[in-house]
Structure 1
Amino acid sequence: MITATEKSIQIIEEGHITSPKGFTAGGVHCGLRKTKLDFGWLHSEIPAAAAGVYTLNSFQAAPLKVTKNSLEKSKKLQTIVVNSANANACTGKQGYSDALEMQKLTAEQMGVETDHVAVSSTGLIGVPLPMDKIRSGIGMLGKEADTSPENFEKAILTTDTVTKHLAAQVEIDGKMITIGGAAKGSGMIHPNMATMLSFITTDAAVEQKSLQSALKSATDNTFNMITVDGDCSTNDMVLVMANGMQKNKPLNESHPEWDKFFEAFQFVCQGLAKLIAKDGEGATKLIEVNVTGAPSEIAARQVAKAIISSNLVKTAIYGADPNWGRIVCAVGYSEQPIDADKVGISLGDIAVVKDGLPLDFDEGEGKLYLQNENVKLIVNLNIGEYEATAWGCDLTYDYVKINASYRT
């Protein structure tokens, strides 16, 4: 897993989704929410190679289906529109027709091909999309007064408390390639996608098949390794556009600097995923679970997911209770090969279990460590050489309050 210390990767301070060359974005208020921005758009000057990954929930929302179908045909995108407040999910044939109209009107407004438009929605499930307001929002797209990545980031939020954005650069073929991203997500977050939307841009030239492969691989290590509450939603997707405006030699797995590009791409995905986990509904702490010594990559991932998804672990972290027994339980029910007599566990630098047995440690020191905003749990299975990292947050009283009154 790459980190911010990668020498070839340069983080852009206050970088956004429009940091790569040739991209613009904005957001407007069209009446879906009382006063906040609720309709966002992202646009490339030229059609861009594009790729997407989508929720595994069987109830896939209409805009997701429309976008997936178009992208499978065209392999390119030029404009993405997103509305908040209404998910347009479980809305039947009318919902699908509304998503198609949303796509068609956007194409006309922006002067692009219909299949080069992606549509996305997030918000309340089971309510028809108020198309009069959507049409109003589309009519405002591209106006200079509303053009800013900050407006786009705000327009796509639901229960999020902060916007989420990141951009980084890496030199490829002697050219400075930029990768930017924006995301939303706070609740209904669970591995295999969640109520989460993420949009990534780059001015690199990347072959479409390789871009899809890179997105799938990076998603498995980042967006699919986060959880807030164990709920997998209906609208989630990650889309990436590569417009090639830096005019590098097209990247694919055979390019001598492909690994450098992929590391930077995954770095941006990881950063956005961690921002989502940290902003979990009601959360006060970001939790990182690092599993090492696993017999396979799948085993490492599944054990990490089991721990980060455990409500007992999450509540213990919230209460700063160094109850390592809850971590042991999660390891045990992960349904992966485990040798209980070899497992080691640490809370940060504080070793609490060795060879499956408790160590004598200062509980006061453990409690003090768990009061930090960033908590790291380390589990060594000691039966292999694979590792994986998952991210999540603590489970608090405020999470219950937020979701008990979500519709009211």
Structure 2
Amino acid sequence: MQVDSEDEIEVSPFDWPKGFYSDSTHAGLKPDGDDMGWIYSEVPAEAAGVYTTNQFQAAPTTLTKQTINLNYQLQAVVMNSGNANSCNGEQGISDAEMMQQMVADRLQIQANLVGIASTGVIGEPLPMAKIKAGISELKLTKNVGLTKAILTTDTHPKTMTVKCVINDQPVTITGFCKGSGMIHPNMATMLGFVTTDAVISGSQLQQLLSHTVDETFNQITVDGDTSTNDMVVVMANGQAHNQPLTDTNPDYSTFAVAFETVLAHLAKEIAGDGEGASKLVEVNVKGALNHLEGQQVAKAIVGSNLVKAMIFGEDGNWGRIMQAIGQTDAHVDIDGVSVSINGIQLVKNSMGTGIDDAEVSATLKNKVVTIDVDLNAGSAAGTAWGCDLTYKYVQINASYRS
């Protein structure tokens, strides 16, 4: 999607949109650091969400999905790390509902305006006394500690704020997320939250979110595993007082591009912070028969353990990229594929170019590795993001609970 001028979108320091508040606290779910927090809008906000496709969907995820689907509205989301409240049966459902009601009582709003998000160890009951104490400590501040409170194995918070002008009114879109391992969306062990003061209906927001997630969060992979708790939730409280954003609003494309800018940045932040990762990997595919196949091939390459290990080892073994392409059912010109890494062409017409291995190894030392592929089968493209596979990944996940 294009806008007339890049000046219409401005990446800004982290800042909550008008009418949004937050806070975080240490509830004791983790040994140290904040592990619980909330987002609050001073008015009910239009809301939309996308959720994990894992069959063992966690109680907080299921409850939030049900809550948003009632009328596409939320006024608050409470979140915790340290415990996923997943695979806990009826007790897990009851605890999620109790958590929702506690927040509603504290904020004096309806329970069906409260979303719940949890992340952490699967299969351990929520310590409800700690949850209750944590909720009692939360306040309505502008505390950005919330962005740290949801982290598990992440090495840093992942945030993004973009400002734009819609119908002559300044609009802010701010997002933050967590995710490092068990990342292979539809969705992944990731939680994402986006707030905006724009005026947009819940149904329009849902349409935009679903489309944008397919182009961003669903095009990242760290380890091929999909979690039970993932979700991305968006709240739009209308405090910018712009004209309602619909497909016919001339500034809709500006908002959509700003929205995609936020989600794409957060998606790449997750990919680059994969557990144990030392490199961010971007794969750009062109010459695909259609966009879906371009996306499929890009994600297959970035998700291949052989490719990921190759990049970690700084070994220009381009055959691993070719096998990843060939494992898909995408249309490919078998005798016409090209592959480049960081601008160095390794494959032309599906054969090696004889490039010096030392040159390839040197470029693979970069913190960002870009792989460009031409399938020579059409005019469509696709992009995906991931990371290398390191010894550290095994170390982290061999002792996750300890």
Using the size of structure 1 for normalisation, the TM-score is 0.96
- Which of the numbers 38, 43, 46 marks the counterpart of 1:41? 38
1:226 aligns with 2:220: yes
The answer as to whether partners of 1:195 and 1:234 remain within 8 angstroms in 2 is yes
Distance in 2 between the 1:219 and 1:196 partners?
12
- Which of the numbers 180, 191, 194 marks the counterpart of 1:200? 194
- Which of the numbers 164, 170, 175 marks the counterpart of 1:181? 175
Distance in 2 between the 1:385 and 1:180 partners?
34
May I ask how many residue pairs the two structures share in their alignment?
401
The answer as to whether partners of 1:286 and 1:373 remain within 8 angstroms in 2 is yes
- Which of the numbers 325, 341, 345 marks the counterpart of 1:347? 341
Displacement after TM superposition at 1:259 (Å) = 1.1
1:382 aligns with 2:379: no
What letter corresponds to residue 322 of structure 1 in structure 2? G
The answer as to whether partners of 1:74 and 1:116 remain within 8 angstroms in 2 is no
State the partner residue of 1:9.
9
What letter corresponds to residue 100 of structure 2 in structure 1? Q
Displacement after TM superposition at 1:191 (Å) = 2.8
Distance in 2 between the 1:212 and 1:360 partners?
49
Runs of 4+ in structure 1 off by over 2 angstroms are: 5-8
State the partner residue of 2:73.
76
Secondary structure at 1:88's aligned position in 2? coil
The answer as to whether partners of 1:74 and 1:115 remain within 8 angstroms in 2 is no
What letter corresponds to residue 116 of structure 1 in structure 2? L
Distance in 1 between the 2:166 and 2:2 partners?
18
- Which of the numbers 143, 149, 153 marks the counterpart of 1:148? 143
State the partner residue of 1:135.
132
Distance in 2 between the 1:26 and 1:141 partners?
6
Unaligned runs of 5+ in 2: none
1:403 aligns with 2:400: no
- Which of the numbers 168, 171, 176 marks the counterpart of 2:165? 171
Distance in 1 between the 2:64 and 2:348 partners?
49
1:31 aligns with 2:25: no
Distance in 1 between the 2:140 and 2:262 partners?
28
Distance in 2 between the 1:159 and 1:279 partners?
9
1:255 aligns with 2:254: no
Displacement after TM superposition at 1:143 (Å) = 5.5
Distance in 2 between the 1:78 and 1:196 partners?
21
Displacement after TM superposition at 1:254 (Å) = 1.6
Distance in 1 between the 2:139 and 2:329 partners?
51
Secondary structure at 2:193's aligned position in 1? strand
What letter corresponds to residue 293 of structure 1 in structure 2? G
- Which of the numbers 41, 49, 54 marks the counterpart of 1:52? 49
Secondary structure at 2:82's aligned position in 1? coil
State the partner residue of 1:157.
151
The answer as to whether partners of 2:291 and 2:382 remain within 8 angstroms in 1 is yes
- Which of the numbers 254, 270, 276 marks the counterpart of 2:264? 270
Displacement after TM superposition at 1:252 (Å) = 1.2
Distance in 2 between the 1:45 and 1:181 partners?
18
1:116 aligns with 2:110: no
Unaligned runs of 5+ in 1: none
Secondary structure at 2:37's aligned position in 1? strand
The answer as to whether partners of 2:26 and 2:33 remain within 8 angstroms in 1 is yes
Distance in 1 between the 2:101 and 2:208 partners?
29
Distance in 2 between the 1:407 and 1:62 partners?
20
Displacement after TM superposition at 1:2 (Å) = 7.9
Which string of whole-angstrom CA distances, capped at 9 and with x for unpartnered residues, describes residues 309-329 of structure 1?
100100111111111100000
The answer as to whether partners of 2:21 and 2:140 remain within 8 angstroms in 1 is no
The answer as to whether partners of 1:223 and 1:269 remain within 8 angstroms in 2 is yes
